[in-house]
Amino acid sequence: MGAEKNLPPGSAAMLVLSLLEEGDKYGYQMIEELERRSDNTFAFKAGTLYPLLHTLEQQGCVTAYDGEPEKNRPRRYYRLTPKGRKKLMEMKAQWNSL
């Protein structure tokens, strides 16, 4: 079981939005980066990440676009929106108050 299941509600979204604050990324890239930065504590599965990204997209916090394929594999990139940046700031403030 990954540690992300034990996080307070909204924490997974905060982690993803924080990654996107640094620049556009595709899903697998986010999974790898979270694992690397957390020393494999957070091992998101695609079945966890992509529904979260779709929810954030529906909320207007991220936008998605198709980038140039790498090695014949299409890449769908995600970008933080101004609304997502504001939500991230609010989440960080709540986290810091804990």
Residue 28: count of CB within 10 angstroms of its CB: 12
The model's pTM: 0.83
d(CA 94, CA 88): 10
Q: Give the mean model confidence (pLDDT) for residues 9-30.
A: 91
């929106």: which residue's tokens? 81
- Model confidence at 5, in pLDDT bands (50, 70, 90)? low
pLDDT reading at 1 higher than 90: no
Greater pLDDT, 32 or 2: 32
